[in-house]
Amino acid sequence: MAQWTNFDELASYKTLQSVKKVDIRKEMAGENGAERVKKYSVPMAEGLTYNYAAKAVDDEVLKDLCDLAKEAQLSEKFEELYNGAVINTGEKRLVLHQLCRGQLGKDVVVDGVNKREFYVEQQKRVADFANKVHSGEITNEKGEKFTQVVQIGIGGSDLGPRAMYIALENWAKKNNTLKMQARFISNVDPDDAAAVLAQTDASHALFILVSKSGTTLETLTNNAFVQDALKKDGLDPAKHMVAVTSATSPLAKSTDFLTAFYMDDYIGGRYSTSSAVGCTVLSLAFGPDVFARFLDGAAAADKAATEKDPMKNAAMLDALIGVYERNFLGYDTTAVLPYSQALSRFPAHLQQLDMESNGKSVNRFGEPISYVTGPVIFGEPGTNGQHSFYQLLHQGKTLIPLQFIGFKNSQLGVDVDIEGSTSQQKLCANVAAQIVAFACGKDDENPNKNFEGGRPSSIIIGEQLTPETLGALLAHFENKVMFQGFVWNINSFDQEGVQLGKVLAKRVLAHNTEGALTEYSKLLNI
């Protein structure tokens, strides 16, 4: 069995403290830089490539990181995870989101239930339901087809599925696979639900209520909001709603829904896009075949993450370089910069995935640790970000590592040639220029125009954003976060940090407060 040891107790930790730092500006200049771009690149699943030439690493640092991967037993811990070990120590649970995409190891059986078969069964149930909706076998009360789908959820029940839907919406339109337009309600702010409902033809809409426990306050509040609106329109909510929940939740057998699809406690919210949480809305929106292609891409990335050699395992190498930047170079933030408008909400999903998973100050046994863990994640699509926060990235005093994502071809194939190049070529030219500008900088006698350079970055490059490449991207980052959690010896699969505010909010609503909480309640007229 793998040994779980605090990061700073590993011999590799001490080695990496003393390794010679790499001057990115020097390394990326001239022909040396050209050779690095060719050399420091790893193939990924679905034709993607991870290039880390502009990171502050060289062969010596990479050797030490490979030693760290071996000493921290990253491959062995991943193997234990997908074979059904209790990796989520805080909640004493297995971690099985990969099983929604495929089976990497042995059968995982819990209480007599083969979990892979359970997840596949739910996917088949969703596919059958979606096909019947699309064919008109399942209709509204007047026998008319449903044309829209609205997901009601928060956190992982919203961010991942929403980001995936936005990423494939225009692709699906082009490829004639957009079956139903999807919208999302997440914020308990009534303006969110009201705005979505104002844009929705409720009589032809299916609503998906997503809550694993069936008790999430924000989600149930929005559910009541939607049900009230449907009733006011003379519609029966039970004929317009389905649930995605656990088989033991109060929603599972409720007559308030057409049917319920099941998830379980072994899939955390931020890892749930591959489960019924994403399967239901994406299968209704694009068709089950498109969702299956998405799962194939994720499964391929999971398979690639089993490679034991970090130099051939993009997710593991990405994770190790991130750990090196966080713990030894002192960088506390990472910017995710997709040069694809379709990925406009992908950074928001990664924000939750990374920060909710690895924002921890105790190890997986609940003991305090003395080293820093997960970075702050933020981002926006290029080139918009270039005209926003790139000023700080280029010339600010805070050095922020950058994670670019780019594609050689646009999703829609619609372009125009202006001044000798197409829009897609201009987009790609911008990302290439930014990588070199961040790394190499520019000397100028005018201090306002001087760029110090030395800003590290990596890029994931693909041919085109498709269901397969999107699935591979999602799984890459999930596995990156997982590997980093293994290095830091923390539990990346619970989220106690979101609970305290919920508890206090319930006290406020019950008027059971004291001290500052009472005064803030008065200020907000609660």
Q: Torsion-angle region of residue 112: left (phi > 0), alpha (psi -120 to 50) or beta?
A: left
Q: Read off the tokens for 474.
A: 């999602």
382, two tokens = 């290029």
39's CB contacts (< 8 A; 6+ apart) are 53
Residue 416 pLDDT:
84
Q: Under DSSP, is residue 377 helix (H, G, I), strand (E, B) or coil? A: strand
- Beta-sheet pairing, 113-114 with 49-51: unpaired
Active site residue 173: no
| Mean predicted confidence (pLDDT) in 429-434 | 97
Is residue 5 scored above 90 in pLDDT? yes
Q: Map residue 378 onto helix, strand or coil.
A: strand
Determine the pLDDT at residue 504: 86
Residue type, 271: Y
Q: Which of 142, 387, 511, 522 is catalytic?
A: 387
Average pLDDT, the chain: 96
Task: Determine the distance from the C-alpha atom of residue 319 to the mean position of all C-alpha atoms in its chain, rounded to a whole number.
Answer: 15
30 φ/ψ sector (left φ>0, alpha ψ -120 to 50, else beta): left
Whether residue 383 has a cis bond before it, omega within 30° of 0: yes
Q: What is the pLDDT of residue 140?
A: 95
Q: What 3-state class would DSSP assign to 5?
A: coil
Q: Is 212 a catalytic residue?
A: no
C-alpha distances out from residue 453 to 30, 325, 327, 436, Å: 14, 16, 21, 9
How far is the C-alpha of 422 from the C-alpha of 314, rounded, in Å?
31
- The predicted pLDDT at position 333 comes to 98
Number of separate helices (H) and strands (E) present in the chain = 18, 15
Instruction: Say which of 218, 325, 356, 380 is annotated catalytic.
Output: 356
Residue 229 sits at φ, ψ, to 5 deg, of -65, -40
Q: For residue range 164-198, what is the model confidence (pLDDT) as tens digits?
A: 999 999 999 999 999 999 999 999 999 999 999 99
Give 211-251 pLDDT, tens digit per residue: 998 888 889 999 999 999 999 999 999 999 999 999 999 99
Residue the block writes with tokens 């990335």: 301
Catalytic residue among 106, 502, 506, 519: 502
**Phi/psi of residue 425, each to 5°?**
-65, -40
Run of H or E including 268 = none
| Residue pLDDT, tens place only, 312-324 | 999 999 999 999 9
Alpha carbons 174 and 267: distance in angstroms, whole number: 33
**Pairwise CA distance, residues 315 & 45, whole Å:** 10
d(CA 102, CA 30): 44
Residue 5 token pair: 């040891």
Q: Which of 317, 268, 293 is nearest to 90 (CA)?
A: 268
Q: What is the pLDDT of residue 266?
A: 97
Of 385-389, 433-437, 514-518, minimum mean pLDDT range: 514-518
**Backbone φ, ψ for residue 21 (5° rounding):** -70, 145
- Write out 445-512 in H/E/C secondary structure: CCHHHCECCCCCEEEEEECCCCHHHHHHHHHHHHHHHHHHHHHHCCCCCCCHHHHHHHHHHHHHHCCC
State the alpha helices, DSSP H only, in 365-444: 390-395, 423-440
Q: Is 387 a catalytic residue?
A: yes
Q: How many CB atoms lie within 10 A of CB 413?
A: 9
Whole-angstrom CA distances from 213 to 29, 115, 117, 251, 382 are: 54, 19, 22, 8, 38
pLDDT digits (tens, 9 = 90+) for 375-424: 999 999 999 999 999 999 999 999 999 999 999 999 988 888 888 899 99
Mean pLDDT of 3-7: 98
Distance in angstroms (rounded) separating the CA atoms of residues 388 and 274: 33
Task: Give the pLDDT of residue 502.
Answer: 80
Residue 34 amino acid letter: A
